[in-house]
Amino acid sequence: MTRSFALIPLVAALLLAGCATALPDLPAEAAAPARFKEAGERWTLAQPAEAQDRGAWWKTFQDPVLDRLVEQAAVHNTSVQLAASALAQARALVREARADRLPQVAAAGRVVREAGANTPAGATPATLVQAGAALAWEVDVFGRLARVQDAAALDAQSRAALLQSTQLLVQAEVAQAYLALRALDAERALVRETVAAYADTLRLTQRRFQAGDVAELDVVRVESEVAATEADALALDRARAEVEHALAVLVGEPASSFGLDSAAWTTALPVIPPGVPGTVLARRPDVAAAQASLLAAQARVGVAQAAWFPRIALTADGGFASPELGDLFKWSARAWSIGALLSVPLLDGGRRDAQLQVAQAQLDGALAGYRGQVLGAFREVEDQLSALRLLAEQSQAQGRAVDAARRASVISETRYRNGLVSQLDLLDARRSELRNRRQALQVRAAQDQSTVALIRALGGSWDPVVRPAREVTPATRELASR
C-alpha cells in the first residue's frame, strides 16, 4: 500500500506532461520588401512609431475650417461611436474572463419544509432553515482559463486598433470631402467666369448682327455656348450639394441644417515622407487589428485543446442550519464542508473534436485575413506614391497647356474684334482655354485626394513637410488664387 501511494506523484507528473500540448505555430510570413517600388530619393525614410499618437495630420493643410470639421467628426461621427462601443464591450469581456480565474464567493439562504422516509425527520414534517456562504475556485492546471483571458485581451487590442483605424478613416474621408468641396467651388467660379465672358461675346455679336457685319448664325452659336456653359455650372452646383450632404453625415449633422459657404481654395499641399514597408505595417491600425485577431484565434485553439484535459475545482461551504429560525446562528448550528472535484472527459460524441476543428478553421481564416491586410497595405502605399509622382508631372504639363490656351484665346479675341478670324476660331480658343483650366483644377484636386489617401495608407502622419508653394506653373498658380 505504501508503494502504491509513492507512485501517485509520478503518475500525476506523467499526466501533466502528456496534457501540456503546445499551441500551433503560425506560418512564417513572406519577408517585407526593402523599399517601395515608387519611392525615389525625394522620399524620406522614417523611424517606426507604432505607439506614438498619429497626430493632427490634417492641420498640415493649413485650413481652419477643415480643422473644425475633423474635430467635430471625432465626437459626432456614428462610425467612430460604434467602434468605441465595440471596444468597451471587448474590454468588459476581458474583465469577465479575468474574473473566471478568481475564487467565486456567494451567500445563500434556504428554508425547506420536508417529510418522508428519506428525510432526517422521517415521516414527521419538519422545517430546516439554512444560511451560509460558498466558495468555488477552478484550479487552472492546464491553462484553459488563462488562454481564454489571453484571447479576450487580444480581442480588446484588435478592437482598440479598429477604433483607431475607424478614426483615421473618418478623418481621411472628412478631409477628402472638404477638399473636393473646395475644388468644386474653384471649378464653379471658373465656369461662371467663362459664362460671363461668353455673355460679353454674345452682346458684341448681337451688336455686330444689328449692324449687318455678321449673320444670325453667329448669334445663335454664341447663344448655344452660353447655354451649354450655364448647364455645366448647374451640374457643378448639383455635385457640390451632394458632396456637402456627404460631409454633413461624416460630421454627424443632418444634411438639411448643414452648410458651408463657398470660399477660396487655399489649402496647402503637404509632402508626406513614407517609411520602409516594415515601418508602415507597424503603424497601420488595421494591420495591427488583424494581427491581434490572428493571435486571439491562436489562443482559442489552445482553449479548444485544453477542453480535452481534466478540470479540477475546489469547493468550500460554511454556514448554519437549524429547524428553528431563532437558533439559526447559534454556534451549535454551524455546518461546513470542503471538497475537490475532478472532471475527466471520456465520451462526448465528437463535440470537443468539432470545437477544435472550428478553432483551427478560425485560425486559418484569421491568418488569411492578416495576409490580406498586409498585401493591401503595400498596394495602397504604392498606388498613392505612383499617383503623386505622375500627378506632379501632369500638373506641370497642364500648366504649360493653360498658358498656351490663354494666350491663344487672347490672340483670337483681338483678331476677331478686328475681323481677321471667324467666330468659330474665337469659340474654339475659348473652349480650349476653359477645358485646360478645368483640367488644371482637377489635377490639383487629385493631388490633394492622393495626399490624404497616402497619409491614410501610411497609418497616420510623421510630421509631414509642407511645401511653401505648389510645384506648378505661374498660370496654374493664378488659378489657385482665384
Lowest mean pLDDT across 102-106, 119-123, 159-163, 382-386? 119-123
Give me the half-sphere count of Cα atoms (radius 13 Å) on the Cβ side of residue 189.
Answer: 14
pLDDT at residue number 173: 93
Greatest pairwise CA separation for the chain in angstroms: 133
The answer on 197 and 232 residing in a single domain is yes
User: Binning pLDDT at 50, 70 and 90, where does residue 18 land?
Assistant: very low
The answer on 306 and 316 residing in a single domain is no
The answer on 108 and 231 residing in a single domain is no
pLDDT higher than 90, residue 161: no
Count other Cβ atoms within 10 Å, centred on residue 93.
18
Mean pLDDT of the chain: 78
Count other Cβ atoms within 10 Å, centred on residue 150.
20
Does residue 238 lie within any of the structural domains?
yes
The answer on 273 and 356 residing in a single domain is yes
Lowest mean pLDDT across 396-400, 432-436, 463-467, 476-480? 476-480
Number of domains in the chain: 2
Does residue 162 lie within any of the structural domains?
yes
* CA–CA distance, 276 with 470 (Å, rounded to integer): 26
Does residue 16 lie within any of the structural domains?
no
The answer on 155 and 204 residing in a single domain is yes
The answer on 242 and 124 residing in a single domain is no
For residue 450, the enclosing domain spans 30-101+140-310+351-480
pLDDT at residue number 393: 92
pLDDT at residue number 65: 92
C-alpha cell at 214: 455678321
Does residue 22 lie within any of the structural domains?
no
The answer on 373 and 317 residing in a single domain is no
Can you list the positions of beta strands (E) in 173-251? none
Question: What contacts 356, CB < 8 A, 6 or more positions away?
Answer: 301, 304, 305, 307
pLDDT higher than 70, residue 482: no
pLDDT at residue number 213: 77
CB 66 within 8 Å of CB 250: no
The answer on 200 and 122 residing in a single domain is no
pLDDT higher than 60, residue 51: no
User: Binning pLDDT at 50, 70 and 90, where does residue 307 land?
Assistant: confident
Lowest mean pLDDT across 307-321, 384-398, 421-435? 307-321
Q: Select from 344, 367, 389 the last residue of a domain.
A: 344
pLDDT at residue number 339: 79
User: Binning pLDDT at 50, 70 and 90, where does residue 445 land?
Assistant: very high
CATH of residue 401:
1.20.1600.10
pLDDT at residue number 69: 94
The answer on 123 and 39 residing in a single domain is no
The answer on 324 and 303 residing in a single domain is no
**Could you report the per-residue pLDDT of 110-147, keeping only the tens digit for each?**
777 776 666 666 667 777 777 777 777 777 777 778 88
Does residue 267 lie within any of the structural domains?
yes
Burial class of 308 by CB neighbour count within 10 A (0 to 12, 13 to 18, 19+): middle
User: Binning pLDDT at 50, 70 and 90, where does residue 19 land?
Assistant: very low
The answer on 173 and 120 residing in a single domain is no
Does residue 5 lie within any of the structural domains?
no
The answer on 113 and 70 residing in a single domain is no
pLDDT higher than 80, residue 109: no
Does residue 62 lie within any of the structural domains?
yes
Does residue 7 lie within any of the structural domains?
no
CATH of residue 115:
2.20.200.10
User: Binning pLDDT at 50, 70 and 90, where does residue 176 land?
Assistant: very high
